[in-house]
Chains A and B, each alone.
Chain A
Amino acid sequence: MTEDARATTVLLVGAMMVRLALSGAYAKYVRTGMGDVLLVAGILLVGLGLVGVARALGFGRGTGGAHGHDHDHGDRAGWLLLGPVLALLLVTPPALGSFGVGRSAAVDVSSSGRTFDPLPAGRTTPMTLLEFDERTADHGGASFGTTPVRLTGFVTPANDRTGFRIARYQIACCAADAVAAIVRVTGTTGRSPIRDQWVTVTGTFQRSADGVPELRATSLTEVPAPRDPYE
């Protein structure tokens, strides 16, 4: 790579990271806590790239000695960094969807072994799908009582006789390590929403025969994909 190509590439990668961090689109790929880290790293790269561009143009260069002999050695692979930059400039790959549910590992709630206090009676409680699954695993869902809960997830196909399934991924670091929590929704009337549609369902816990956590829904709303698609 020539000197200006190197500087331009570094600048573009940095700009991509800053843009991802500021627009919030990064939440589709990595956990939300990474935003600031991405921003700082992106700013550092933008600075490095800008200095490189300025030097390539001849600003602030005294003797020019430090760079004169090192071009095109061992950094040819650097061009490849333009791949993700182009991909993110042109299209935004979506958050993980139903394709990976069942292909990736399913969340394992028994390993957490958490126990829960009973839910307060009467008031509808919003809850992650993971907590719903964990409460189901804790003494057969005794902590639910009759309290209605509200869940938000995307529709994932399953060969259930009754109802449909919703899922949501947990990520520890990035989308590569995602595992899905799954809940079966029954009691809705009419046709099930289409695959990958995000929905918010309200209903009560119901003991299922086959061990899949089950919610008997009283209401179902289609919603836009949340900003942070993972739990």
Chain B
Amino acid sequence: MRPVPTPASPSEAPPAADAAPPGRRARGAGLPLVTALIVAAVVLRPVLTGLLGHPAVANWATVFVAITVQALPFLVLGVAVSATIAAFVPPGLIARLLPKRPALAVPAAAVAGAALPGCECGSVPVAARLVSIGVTPAAAFAFLLSAPAINPVVLVSTAVAFPGRPAMVVARFLASLAASVVMGLLWIALGRDDLITPRRTRHGEDGPRLSVFLATAQHDFLQAGGFLVIGAGTAATLQTLVPRSVVDSVAGTGPLSLLVLGVLAVVVALCSEADAFVAAGLKQFSLTARLAFLVVGPMVDVKLFALQAGTFGTRFAWRFSLATFVVAVTCAGLVGWWLL
């Protein structure tokens, strides 16, 4: 309860409100919001406490909070990068740095993904920002897919999780990079830019740079954060309802096992810095199938789907996620057959 009153005190300061410039809107939601929170706290607390007595509900709540809390710092990082691009990078600079021809810009952007150390939640706002400042969507999507999979932090954690198997790290890098490039090229060939919901908000045009930075950061954080909550809720529900032991019963080495672990990666929505440790434990599956788990996870999962749907639109997210899933499983299968 202690933190609740914090925002109330500034909202209640009347002298400043009177002196406000004419640009300020009269109707504010700060005070009603805090009131609603307090009422909700009083009414809901016993209900929630009772619910948590049920082990399944407690498990859901723990996983939900865990996914959200784990992802928030990475989201803050992604939002900070996105807001920096919006406020401090001259418009058109990044587009000029990339090769002119989209077919070359896609691999360049995919390789550039290695520079964003984080997991997948951080790359969505950055990719959205790239699209909004005029980078070819195909290149931005290649970046979106490759960044969470091939950055050094993720590769190192993969090496730690698979001691004595450096081929796994190489295979993950190559398969993820290949899948990102293929998706970018596919978008050039088949993609329609009208599938992407245009970003209606344009912060980048007016005001001092610091204001632009702050407004963009706030906007991007709230938008991505809201959808992160939806994704975390979905993942927690699936984890609680579907025991992972179901997966163990369909172990195998054929192409089916690639699909099974690909679907598992979508459902459990692990952070890309942690998924290698889980993959290392899935010993009853072939290395290639586990590679599919590692390639699909950072590119398609229920949490990421919610983030993409919120950022680029649902129509886009469905098609893009399905295509990415097929491409990622295929790349994992080919690279695994070659290297593992």
Chain A: residues with CB nearer than 8 A to chain B? 1-13, 15-17, 19-20, 26, 28-30, 34, 37-38, 40-41, 44-45, 48-49, 51-59, 61, 63-68, 70-71, 73-84, 86-91, 93-100, 102-108, 110-113, 170-177, 179
Assess A70 versus B3: contact at CB under 8 Å? Given A4-B11, A63-B23, A84-B64: no
Chain A residues with Cβ under 8 A from B161's Cβ? 172
Q: How far is the CA of A16 from the CA of B55 in the complex (A)?
A: 24
Is A93 a contact of B52 with CB atoms below 8 Å? yes
Please name the residue on chain B nearest to A179 by beta carbon: B281
Known contacts A80-B226, A90-B48, A108-B283; is-contact A11 B66 (Cβ 8 Å): no
Question: Given A2-B28, A58-B24, A86-B44, A77–B230 Cβ distance below 8 Å?
Answer: yes
Which of B24, B48, B63, B283 interacts with A91 by CB under 8 Å?
A: B48
Known: A93-B52, A112-B163, A176-B66. A8 touches B7 (CB 8 A): yes
User: With a CB–CB cut-off of 8 A, which chain B residues contact A170?
Assistant: 277
Chain A residues lying within 8 Å of B63, measured Cβ to Cβ, are 96, 175-176
Q: Does B170 contact A (CB under 8 A)?
A: no
Q: Do B59 and A100 touch across chains, with their CB atoms under 8 A apart?
A: yes
The answer to whether B278 and A20 touch across the interface, beta carbons within 8 angstroms, is no
Complex-state Cα separation, A6 to B216, whole angstroms: 12
B235 A16 Cβ-Cβ under 8 A: no
Chain A residues within an 8 Å CB radius of B217: 48
Q: Looking at chain B, what size class is its interface with the partner chain?
A: 35 or more
- Residues of A near B29 (CB, < 8 A) are 1-2, 4-5, 8
Q: Give the chain A neighbours of B33 by CB distance below 8 A.
A: 5, 8-9
Which among B59, B164, B201, B283 is the interface contact of A73 at CB below 8 angstroms? B201
CA distance A170 to B161 in the complex (A): 13
Chain A positions within 8 Å of B22 at CB level: 64
Q: B277 near A177 (CB under 8 angstroms)?
A: yes
Q: Is the CB of A97 within 8 A of B58?
A: yes
Across the A-B interface, give the 6 residue pairs with the lowest CB-CB distance, nearest first.
A77-B226, A64-B23, A66-B207, A78-B222, A173-B274, A58-B20
Q: What residues on A are CB-neighbors of B191 within 8 Å?
A: none
Residue B256 interfacial (CB < 8 Å)? no
Cβ of B212 under 8 Å from chain A: yes
Contact present for A64 and B21 (CB under 8 Å): yes
The distance from the CB of B314 to the nearest CB of chain A, in whole angstroms, is 12
Knowing A29-B69, A93-B58, say if A83 contacts B229 (CB, 8 Å): yes
A-B contact pairs, 30 of them (CB 8 A): A2-B27, A3-B25, A6-B219, A8-B29, A8-B30, A28-B66, A29-B66, A30-B69, A48-B218, A53-B30, A58-B17, A70-B202, A70-B203, A77-B229, A78-B222, A78-B226, A84-B64, A86-B44, A89-B3, A89-B41, A90-B41, A91-B45, A99-B59, A102-B243, A103-B243, A105-B248, A110-B283, A173-B274, A175-B66, A177-B275
Asked if A57 and B17 make an inter-chain contact with CB atoms under 8 angstroms apart, the answer reads yes
- Partner pick for B68 among A52, A61, A84, CB 8 A cutoff: A84
Interface residues of B in 41-62 (CB under 8 A from A): 41, 44-45, 48-49, 52, 55-56, 58-59, 61-62
Given known contacts A5-B30, A76-B226, A54 and B55 CB-to-CB distance under 8 angstroms: no
Inter-chain CA distance A206–B300, complex, in Å, is: 45
Residue pair B270, A177 in contact (C-beta under 8 Å): yes
- A30 and B243 within 8 A (CB): no
CB A63 to nearest CB in B, in angstroms, measures 7
Is the Cβ of A66 less than 8 Å from the Cβ of B200? no
Given contacts A70-B201, A97-B59, contact A87 B48 (CB under 8 A): yes
Residues of B within 8 A of A91 (CB): 45, 48-49, 52, 61
Partner of B52, one of A73, A76, A88, A94: A94
A176-B235, A179-B281 known; A103 and B73 CB under 8 Å?
Answer: no
Given A16-B3, A70-B203, also A111-B37 (CB < 8 A)? no
Q: A83-B229, A86-B41 are in contact. Are A10 and B222 (CB under 8 A)?
A: yes
- 16 extra interface residue pairs, beta carbon distance < 8 Å, beyond A45-B76, A80-B227: A2-B27, A2-B28, A5-B29, A8-B7, A17-B72, A53-B7, A59-B16, A81-B229, A86-B44, A87-B64, A105-B245, A106-B281, A111-B280, A172-B274, A174-B66, A174-B274
Instruction: Report the separation of the CA atoms of residues A90 and B52 in the bound assembly, to the nearest whole angstrom.
Output: 11
Inter-chain contact A41/B44, CB cutoff 8 Å:
no
B240 to chain A, nearest CB (A): 8
* Given A4-B30, A75-B222, A179-B278, A82 and B37 contact (CB-CB distance below 8 Å): yes
